[in-house]
């Protein structure tokens, strides 16, 4: 047993004593009902908690990439929310573990080189010319024996092996999909800034690359999906320490930098292909993507939108349009004075969930008490 394994077991011993499985069931039911536009007792709120304390220490990012034990320690201490503190706060955060290899997985399967530099998340080295892109297009569809896919599967195996000795942790922890990005986000990772010129200079090659990426995402989803262990039910998943409706969360950050016309012509058909193949999808984006909202809402089988920076947009307009299409909005956030369960229930009665970015654990406790009031 390595030192990291020993630290991990001490951490799991601590969590095993504190997990309330009834609470886990309640928060899961609340998230699922909200995304189904059903009547709910209150909108779900997840507090993103930092890790505080001296009992344990997260590992540097450069050390977790190849070490399953260190990655698990970091997921428990300092993922999207600190599970270490969430079990005591008992907000609406699910306890999620994922193979956290950043944005690199699909690109690596397609042959891209990956770099881990100091304390930065792993990154993709863009290919240097269109000839390299053509080699991807002309090559076979990758399998999950290529790139970082075996590392993903190793991490799932490690999670399951360790959790087998902790029945409450095993029941409460959600083993979620890794970040599989989305078709055009992966184009940009592979092609670099020239991806944006390709709409004009290489549209046929861009289309062919999008097709190849879409097929690779489906290959990865079907293999990794067999390893996922979540209790929220068919057609849902946990991502970003909250619940989304849709069998896969497509990251679409780069599409906020293109025109709605290019989105409709090039991007939407590939999102639609994934939605048709899987039965449902969710879409994530950071930044102000309001100009793409109608395109996104027209995606067949779209079930929810995960918003990385909702404060940049008109949330009431988005909620009105999304609710009409029965598309849930995930991770809304509002000014502190508006964040009470009573106020949010009047303004967003169902079909939405919320997050609060806490600077300290004490601040989160105060915010949570303010949110639930006397309930």
pLDDT of 1 reads: 74
The token pair at 114 is 């990956």
pLDDT of 117 reads: 81
Our count of domains for the chain comes to 1
What is this structure's pTM? 0.96
Q: How far is CA 125 from the centre of its chain?
A: 22
Q: 213 and 205 in contact (C-beta within 8 Å)?
A: no
pLDDT digit string, tens, across residues 301-329: 999 999 999 999 999 999 999 999 999 99
**What Å distances lie between residue 94 and 124, 206, 252, CA to CA?**
30, 38, 23
Q: Which residues of the chain have pLDDT under 70?
A: 374-375
Q: 216 and 109 in contact (C-beta within 8 Å)?
A: yes
pLDDT of 374 reads: 59
pLDDT of 202 reads: 95
Q: Measured between alpha carbons, how far is 334 from 300 in angstroms, rounded to an integer?
A: 29
Helix (H) or strand (E) holding 243: strand 242-245
Residue 265 DSSP class: I
Domain assignment of residue 362, given as a range: 3-372
157 Cβ contact partners less than 8 Å away, ≥ 6 residues apart: none
pLDDT of 119 reads: 83
Q: Measured between alpha carbons, how far is 14 from 127 in angstroms, rounded to an integer?
A: 45
CATH code of the domain in which 204 resides = 3.20.20.210
């Amino acid at each position: 047993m390595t030192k990291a394994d020993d630290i991990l077991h001490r951490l799991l011993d601590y969590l095993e004593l504190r997990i309330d499985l009834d609470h886990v069931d309640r928060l899961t039911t609340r998230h699922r009902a909200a995304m189904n536009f059903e009547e709910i007792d209150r909108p779900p709120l997840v507090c993103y908690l930092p890790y505080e304390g001296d009992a344990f220490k997260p590992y540097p990012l450069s050390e977790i990439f190849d070490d399953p034990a260190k990655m698990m320690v970091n997921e428990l201490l300092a993922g999207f929310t600190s599970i270490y503190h969430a079990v005591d706060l008992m907000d609406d955060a699910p306890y999620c573990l994922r193979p956290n290899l950043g944005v690199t997985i699909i690109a690596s399967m397609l042959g891209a080189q990956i770099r881990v530099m100091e304390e930065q998340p792993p990154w993709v080295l863009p290919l240097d010319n269109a000839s390299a892109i053509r080699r991807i297009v002309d090559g076979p569809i990758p399998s999950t024996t290529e790139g970082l896919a075996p590392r993903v599967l190793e991490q799932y195996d490690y999670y399951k092996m360790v959790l087998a000795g902790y029945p409450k942790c095993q029941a409460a922890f959600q083993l979620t999909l890794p970040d599989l990005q989305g078709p055009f986000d992966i184009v940009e990772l592979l092609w670099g800034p020239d991806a944006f010129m390709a709409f004009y200079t290489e549209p046929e090659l861009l289309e062919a690359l999008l097709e190849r990426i879409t097929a690779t995402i489906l290959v990865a989803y079907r293999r990794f999906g067999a390893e996922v262990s979540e209790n929220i039910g068919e057609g849902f998943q946990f991502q970003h320490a909250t619940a989304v409706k849709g069998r896969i969360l497509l990251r679409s950050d780069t599409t906020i930098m293109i025109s709605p016309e290019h989105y409709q012509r090039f991007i939407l058909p590939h999102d639609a292909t994934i939605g048709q193949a899987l039965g449902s999808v969710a879409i994530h984006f950071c930044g102000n993507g309001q100009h793409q909202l109608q395109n996104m809402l027209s995606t067949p089988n779209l079930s929810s939108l995960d918003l990385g920076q909702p404060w940049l947009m008109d949330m009431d307009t988005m909620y009105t349009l999304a609710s009409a299409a029965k598309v849930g909005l995930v991770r809304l956030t509002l000014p502190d004075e508006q964040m009470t369960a009573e106020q949010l229930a009047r303004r967003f009665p169902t079909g939405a969930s919320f997050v609060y970015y806490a600077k300290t654990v004490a601040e989160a406790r105060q915010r949570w008490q303010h949110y639930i009031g006397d309930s």
